[in-house]
Structures are given as structure tokens and as C-alpha cells.
Structure 1
Amino acid sequence: MDKLNKIIKRYKVFFALAAVNIAVIIARPDIGMKSIDLTIDNALEMLSILPPIFILLGLLDVWVKKETMIKYMGEKSGIVGVLLAFFLGSAAAGPLYAAFPVAVVLLKKGSKLSNVLIMIGAWSTTKIPLLLFEASSMGIKFMALRFVLDIFGIAFIAYTTEKLLSSEEKDEIYKNAAKAE
């Protein structure tokens, strides 16, 4: 019974959404079927993206020593850590939800919290294919301006967030990352 409660607690959002989907199917079958189709499409997309990312994360976890990660992205990494975080985020492939497992591995390996936040920010806004698309469709000036503003905005948000968090809150973030499977 304890195991069942643990499963229900862990997947409560999934079960709640499934119940809502069933209610919509009963009340409005046309909308409910569209919802089911979208759910299946999104699940298939996630299943096509996540396995390669988890393989790369496993390789990162095994191949990169904690000392190396601390040296290049840790507390005393300085500008090298910031540049590496921007590069990791900008060169990454996949949707934003794929950045969070990467962030967990970086935190486990001793990366500075602001560098991890910079990587997530870069992943969401400064992807290289997006920059190329913007340059071709909206012009190089627009792309360059947005890119520069994003760089400063991401750095400002990352450092401000890190400064506003108490040491207990930061410790909790690192503990949660260490517990993640």
C-alpha cells in the first residue's frame, strides 16, 4: 500500500490531467479526441528527443570528472565558466525541457548555480539556428540587437537570482540535484 501511495503522489499531476481528459471526452468528444491526439503527438516527440539527451548526459557524467567541471564551471571559474555556459546553451539541440536534466548533471558535478542558470537562459533564447533564422528573416541588425540584449539579460537574471537566494536555498537546490535519478 505504501508503494501505491508513493506512485500516486509522484504521478498525481499525470492522473489529474488524465481525469480531466476523460471528463472532456465524455462532455465534448470532438475536443476530447483533439486533446488525445495532441497528447500522443507530444509524447512521441518527447520520446524521440529525450533518449539521445539522456545518453549524452550519461556520457557527460562518466567522462567528465567532477574536478574538471569545478575548474571550468565551478565557483572560481570566472569568465571561462560564463562563456562555457553560454556556449553549452546556445549550441544545444532540443526543446527547453531537455535543458533541465543537463542542469541537474551540471549541478551534481559542482557547477556554479549562476553558470547553470546562464546555460538554461542561453538554451531558451540564443540557439544558433534561431539566430541564423532571425538574421535571414528579420535582418542582421535585429538579430544582433536581440542577441546582445539577451546576453546581458541572461547574465543579469542569473547573477541576481544567485545573489537573492540564501545559502540555505542554494544548498537545497544542490541537494535536490544530488538526489535526482
Structure 2
Amino acid sequence: MMKRILKRYRTFGIILIINLILLLVKPSLGINSLEGTADNLKELLAIMPPIFILMGLLDAWVQKETMIKLMGKGSGLKGMIIAFLLGSFAAGPVYVSFPFAAVLMKKGSAFFNVLIFIGAWSATKIPISLFEASVMGWKFMITRYAIDIPVIIIIAYITDKVISSNEKKTIYENVEILK
């Protein structure tokens, strides 16, 4: 039990130790590092509670059978489009997409569609795209989408093919452990 807790919070412990060493060795850099860490932690704490609420609602409201039908193996173009839309209408930094991806996997989404979702979240978010269009112009935004969307599909396809069935099974099993 204690090993699991230590393993789970290992990254936090390492960051804390590095910050403390920096504080001792070079105080000005240590203070800047601690302030940056605190800012990141505040951002995380501000973003994650609403995200967990939305994930809980998705988990409670969408039946596994429905998710399998919409985004599971054999969902084809429909599943890919739904994954793109879910990712594109998202808000928040990319690290927020991973808990959502875990819920999608737990509900039976195909690995390929989960990869599409994460790719769309990272590259085609509509709120950011609208801002981008207002600053850089619609032509730039449309050109970027014309490049990003096929690249997301290609990366998802290659990743889906490169990762073995056993590795995917392990990933899905790890998602189930998160319950």
C-alpha cells in the first residue's frame, strides 16, 4: 500500500526535492521555481474539479453500450467524427484530455477514436481556433486545419497499428483499475 502511494506521488516528490535543492543552492532561482510550481498547481486545481464533474456526468449518463455503438470498434467514420467533435469543443489544456480519454476507454471507445479525440483536443479546439482566426485570419486557420486534421488521422492510424493488441489490452486494463 505504501509503495503504491509513493509510486503514485513520485513525480510530486521529485519536483519538491528539486525545488528545495534549488532554494538552498541558488535562492533566487529556487523562489522562481517554487512560484512557477505554485502557479501551475493553482491552475490545475482551478481546472480539474469542473473537469472531474463533467467526466462523472459522462460516465453516469452515457451507457457503455451507447458509447460502443457510437465510438467503439466498427464505428467507422461516425466514431471518428464524434471523437473529433468531442475534442474540438473541449476547453482546457491537453493534460485534461487524458482523464476524459480514460472515461472514453472505460466506456468502450476504440483506441483509434481515443487517439483522434486527444489529437483534436490538442490541435483543433474551436474556442482557440476562433481566436486564432481573429488574430491570424481565417485563411491561416483553415490552412492549419487542412494540415492538422489529416495529420491527426495519420498519427492515430499509425499509433493504433504500431501498438500491439497486448499493449492496448494493458492500457485498457490500467484504465479499469482507475475506477
- Equivalent of residue 101 in structure 1, options 99, 102, 109: 99
**Structure-to-structure mapping, 1:156-167, within 5 angstroms:** 156-167=154-165
Instruction: Point out where structure 1 has 5 or more consecutive residues left out of the alignment.
Output: none
Alignment of 1:132 with 2:130, yes or no, is: yes
Q: Which runs of 4+ in 1 moved over 6 A?
A: none
Deviates more, 1:124-133 or 1:87-96: 124-133
Matched with 1:74 is: 72
How many angstroms does 1:149 deviate by?
0.9
Q: TM-score, normalised by structure 2?
A: 0.96
Matched with 1:27 is: 25
Give the length in aligned residue pairs. Answer: 179
CA separation in 1, counterparts of 2:118 and 2:147? Answer: 16
- 2:91 counterpart SS class: coil
CA separation in 1, counterparts of 2:139 and 2:4? Answer: 53
- 2:116 counterpart SS class: helix
- 1:119 counterpart SS class: helix
CA RMSD of aligned residues (A): 1.1
1:56-95: CA deviation from partner (whole Å, max 9, x where unpaired): 1111111100000000000011111111000000000111
1:5-63: CA deviation from partner (whole Å, max 9, x where unpaired): 33222222221221111110011111111111111111111101000010111111111
- Equivalent of residue 41 in structure 1, options 39, 42, 49: 39
CA separation in 1, counterparts of 2:4 and 2:156? Answer: 34
CA separation in 2, counterparts of 1:162 and 1:38? Answer: 36
Matched with 1:5 is: 3
Q: What is the letter of the counterpart of residue 10 of structure 1?
A: R
Sequence identity percentage? 54
CA separation in 2, counterparts of 1:6 and 1:86? Answer: 35
How many angstroms does 1:168 deviate by?
0.8
Deviates more, 1:59-68 or 1:130-139: 130-139
Q: Against the structure 1 CA distance between its residues 5 and 78, is the aligned structure 2 distance closer, same or farther, given a 3 Å change threshold?
A: closer
Instruction: Point out where structure 2 has 5 or more consecutive residues left out of the alignment.
Output: none
CA separation in 1, counterparts of 2:4 and 2:68? Answer: 35
CA separation in 2, counterparts of 1:106 and 1:148? Answer: 26
Q: What is the letter of the counterpart of residue 179 of structure 1?
A: I
Q: TM-score, normalised by structure 1?
A: 0.95
CA separation in 2, counterparts of 1:5 and 1:140? Answer: 52
CA separation in 2, counterparts of 1:5 and 1:167? Answer: 29
Q: What is the letter of the counterpart of residue 152 of structure 1?
A: P
How many angstroms does 1:4 deviate by?
3.1
**Structure-to-structure mapping, 1:110-125, within 5 angstroms:** 110-125=108-123
Q: What is the letter of the counterpart of residue 117 of structure 1?
A: L
